[in-house]
Copies of this chain bind each other. A is one copy, B any other.
Amino acid sequence: MQYTEEPTNAVEDDRRQMLGGFIRAQRQIANLSLRQLSAMTEISNPYLSQVERGLHEPSIRVLKSIADALNVSAEILFEQAGLISGTEKLGDEATESAVRADQRLTEAQRHALLAVYRSYIETNRKES
């Protein structure tokens, strides 16, 4: 079962650097020092420094606090982190995502709505 070498490493290095750079840029735009951001995020300033320089891949928790503190939509950060790979699919899936995320619907209602929605899509596809 040949393990697949690792084409990941170089790529991930780049991603960390990009993500870090992005965070640093945002922080500077917001005119915050590492310690100030540290206070807001409850994350140690040394670690923030390391993350910004791409020395570490922050955890989900950390990434989210940073996004919150910097007033950057988390999605944008994730995109920078190479997470949301493309936004390509997002267009088509926007409705499904929104429905699934809708806190005001019950589970059953979500399913029902999605079922209706999908049937529409399917219908339109056949008729085209």
Complex interface: chain B residues within 8 A of A85 (CB): 64, 68, 74
A79 in the interface, Cβ–Cβ < 8 Å?
yes
Complex interface: chain B residues within 8 A of A98 (CB): 87, 94-95, 97-99
Q: A59 to B12, alpha carbons, bound, how many Å?
A: 13
Complex interface: chain B residues within 8 A of A84 (CB): 74-75, 101
A100 in the interface, Cβ–Cβ < 8 Å?
yes
A30 in the interface, Cβ–Cβ < 8 Å?
no
Given A60-B81, A113-B117, A95 and B89 contact (CB-CB distance below 8 Å): no
Q: How many copies does the complex hold?
A: 2
Q: A49 to B106, alpha carbons, bound, how many Å?
A: 28
Considering the complex, give the chain B residue whose CB is closest to the CB of A121: B104
Q: Do A74 and B64 touch (CB < 8 A)? A: no
Q: Do A63 and B60 touch (CB < 8 A)? A: yes
Complex interface: chain B residues within 8 A of A82 (CB): 64
What 5 pairs between A and B have smallest CB-CB spacing? A98-B98, A95-B98, A94-B98, A87-B101, A109-B120
A57-B60, A87-B98 given; name 16 further pairs at CB < 8 Å: A57-B61, A60-B60, A60-B81, A73-B97, A75-B90, A78-B78, A86-B101, A92-B104, A94-B102, A95-B95, A95-B102, A98-B98, A98-B99, A104-B120, A104-B124, A105-B120
